[in-house]
Amino acid sequence: MVIKKLNTLFHKHSRVLFGAFTILIILAFTDFLTPGNVGGCDDPAETEIGTAYGEKVTAGDLQKLHHDLSVLASLQGVGVPDDTKALFDHLCFIKRAEQLGIYVTDAEVADMIAKCEKFQKDGKFSQLEYDNFLKNNRMSNDDVVAALRTAGLVDKLQKTLLSSVVVTDDEAKDLYIARNPGLDVAVKVFNAADFKVADGDDAALAKFYEAHKADYMTSGTAEIVKAVISYANFQPEAEKMFASPDARVTKMIADAKAAKADASDEDIKKAVVADLAAELAASKAATLARGLYDKLDSKLPAAEQLKFFLNWAAENGLEIHESGKLAFNSPEMPPQLANTLKTMSRTGLQLLSTLIAGENGIEVIMLKDRVEPVQQEFAAVKELVKTAYKADAQQKAAVDAADTFRKNMEAVDAGKRVAAWGESKEGKALQLTLPVDNIFQILQDGTLKEVYQMFYPEQLIGMLAFMFPQEVLQQIILGSDEAVESFIAQYPPAQQASLRAMLKPVFLMREAGGGMRKELQMKEGDVSQVIEIPGGAAVFCIAKRTPADMSKFEAAKGALVSELKDRKGSVVMQEFFEESARQCRFTFVNEEAAPVEK
């Protein structure tokens, strides 16, 4: 839960630039923002970067915003956009807030300072803590005031934009009814291994090899050193915050109870304390990393950079973990880590990663060594190609058989279809009753996983959150197929097919509109489309429908209303982002200070 929250805070429901006091994202400082780095101009700060809502934006504007966000990073773990364009986008939203007449008063800034956790002692604001913070971070009161005013501005903009979002009881009830019907589902599974196919000749195998060439490469490997800011170190402080909650922690507790109505008080405490410990670790990590990124010279030899990194970790009492050779396509290599290692050379520091929310703490990774993948020739992998060719042909045969069965069933009178389905000897017959209380009862049988996911894509999204980078998952939900395809293209073709099959339920959910699944609107006797699953294909039929049990609606209502508000808010924010893209124009191009590639 902690990892998922940290990794989704910046992206969830399009609130990418507005969680000023809770988000943790990449912390990286770009060379472009260093005064004097822009050539061809007497005063680099006056270099025009673009226009935002009709106003000129200069390098100086971005430098000021970068400084404000850096101060916020020290205060609360808020990340700084890791390229010039992202920083420009952030500034566009601030310009829009100013145009709408939104402002933050001195009294509101003073209130934010008084409530900031960094400046608390025994549950109250401490002037001494505040003065020490300024001294230790070489900041002035004006720095903090300006940064918090910026944070308050974007927070007010978000509230203004979302003020029109309203969810009625009827909408919550409709979602509950759609999500909780009693369904008896008859399933037919066609296992690919049951189909006999001809072996391919050399020409067919060579053609298959060329089409799937990326599957036959040696895996790239990497050796890393990892410094970890452990969540456990902040557990005692988090427990104190829970025991004497301020307004923010009180809201966290209330939100946790609303989201998990059946959870015990002890479970709520564990969840909130874990989240607080993670936030504290994130804030500490942002402060420590700021010093590392500021001082590490990326022009030093790799060995010197590693020495500096290890000394930095030791000085700050961080845990150090070294890996052996990790293969990029190994099951032991988490996709997020593999993706991070592939892009580390584009962070501007070359060998050093950005902050990563790991299993046990916030991580910073130093790359020790890397070996690129090598293409294997056809002759060397011919036997592997034979096996893959046969499996591919069997999979296609299973899909074709499932589709033929589907068409035959649709030709039967709807009133007789369920009986005909049961009498059919084709495929493997399975019976499934939905919903079930425990998702793992279904997932234990891999052949049923995708069928279950067709009915519960929200559960699928929860699982995907641990498999896809959060920025990709966000694009999946919002509908940017180009971004999704770009991510999937990093994998070998065989894995690409599996990933696309896995995402089908999400796309169906999206196309049906706001999460209302077409499958849940099916009548008794209706037949689904063919669902391609690993190792075969499946088709299902609605055997019986019973209405949702409304006795549990009130207990679920709070979470449903919150979810619907998030969905509607996502639409509002997406529309705002699109309008901002039309009204703002980023024009700066400079090879020496180009934005970091993503």
Domain termination residue (choose one: 338, 371, 404): 371
Per-residue pLDDT tens digits for 340-388 = 666 654 444 457 777 777 788 888 888 888 787 889 999 999 999 999 9
> What DSSP assignment string belongs to 71-86?
HHHHHH-PPBPSSHHH
557 falls within a domain: no
The verdict on 149 and 252 lying in the same domain is no
Give the 3-state DSSP-derived string for 440-467, with helices as H, strands as E and coil as C: HHHHCCHHHHHHHHHHCHHHHHHHHCCC
Residues 6+ apart with CB under 8 A from 196: none
The verdict on 322 and 418 lying in the same domain is no
Residue 540 pLDDT grade (very low, low, confident, very high; cuts 50, 70, 90): confident
| CA 190/CA 173 separation, integer angstroms | 37
Residues 6+ apart with CB under 8 A from 211: 493
Q: Is the pLDDT of residue 557 over 50?
A: yes
3-class DSSP state of 209: helix
366 falls within a domain: yes
Q: Could you give the dihedral angle defined by the CA atoms of residues 109, 115, 116 and 118, in that order, rounded to the nearest 10 degrees?
A: 140
Residues 6+ apart with CB under 8 A from 327: 219, 220, 221, 333
How much of the chain exceeds pLDDT 90, in percent?
A: 19
Closest CA to 399 of 584, 531, 574, 207: 531
| Entry pTM | 0.48
237 falls within a domain: yes
What pLDDT is stored for residue 581 in this prediction? 83
Domain termination residue (choose one: 371, 387, 404): 371
Per-residue pLDDT tens digits for 250-275 = 888 888 887 777 788 898 999 899 98
Strand-pairing partners, residue 369, are: 223
Residues 6+ apart with CB under 8 A from 580: 89, 92, 93, 96
- Residue listed under structure tokens 């499996």: 391
- Residue listed under structure tokens 């991580």: 363
172 falls within a domain: no
What pLDDT is stored for residue 46 in this prediction? 80
Bond before 44 cis per omega within 30 degrees: no
The verdict on 383 and 365 lying in the same domain is no
Q: Is the pLDDT of residue 400 over 90?
A: yes
Per-residue pLDDT tens digits for 421-453 = 888 888 777 665 554 333 333 333 434 444 444
| CA 580/CA 585 separation, integer angstroms | 9
Across 448-565, where does the E strand assignment appear? 531-533, 536-546
What pLDDT is stored for residue 377 in this prediction? 94
269 falls within a domain: yes
| CA 435/CA 30 separation, integer angstroms | 50
Q: Sort 562 into a burial class: Cβ within 10 Å, 0-12 / 13-18 / 19+.
A: middle
Phi, psi of 431 (to 5 degrees): -115, 135
Strand-pairing partners, residue 542, are: 185
Conformation bin of residue 13: beta by default, left when phi > 0, alpha when psi is -120 to 50: left
CA distances from 104 to 35, 64, 155 (A): 28, 17, 10
Q: Would you say 402 and 427 are in contact if contact means Cβ atoms under 8 Å apart?
A: yes
CA distances from 596 to 65, 212, 364 (A): 18, 31, 19
The verdict on 352 and 451 lying in the same domain is no
- Looking at the structure of the chain, the number of domains it has is 3
Q: Would you say 490 and 496 are in contact if contact means Cβ atoms under 8 Å apart?
A: no
- Residue listed under structure tokens 């500021």: 294
3-class DSSP state of 226: strand
443 falls within a domain: yes
Q: What angle do CA 166, 574, 150 make, to 5 degrees?
A: 90
The verdict on 19 and 99 lying in the same domain is yes
The verdict on 161 and 139 lying in the same domain is yes
The verdict on 161 and 115 lying in the same domain is yes
Q: What is the DSSP letter of 527?
A: B
CATH number of the CATH domain containing 76: 1.10.4030
What range defines the domain where residue 589 resides?
A: 2-165+571-593
- The whole-number average pLDDT for the span 313-333 is 81
The verdict on 245 and 304 lying in the same domain is yes
Domain termination residue (choose one: 325, 344, 371): 371
Closest CA to 548 of 579, 520, 567: 520
321 falls within a domain: yes
| CA 44/CA 59 separation, integer angstroms | 7
Q: Which two tokens stand for residue 17?
A: 């630039």
The verdict on 269 and 312 lying in the same domain is yes
What pLDDT is stored for residue 547 in this prediction? 79
Q: Which two tokens stand for residue 428?
A: 């493997």
| CA 488/CA 496 separation, integer angstroms | 6
The verdict on 432 and 384 lying in the same domain is yes
Per-residue pLDDT tens digits for 471-493 = 555 555 555 566 667 767 766 66
| CA 369/CA 489 separation, integer angstroms | 25
Per-residue pLDDT tens digits for 202-245 = 999 999 999 999 888 887 788 888 899 999 999 999 999 999 88
The verdict on 444 and 430 lying in the same domain is yes
Q: Is the pLDDT of residue 503 over 80?
A: no
555 falls within a domain: no
Q: What is the DSSP letter of 368?
A: E
| CA 5/CA 18 separation, integer angstroms | 16
The verdict on 512 and 581 lying in the same domain is no
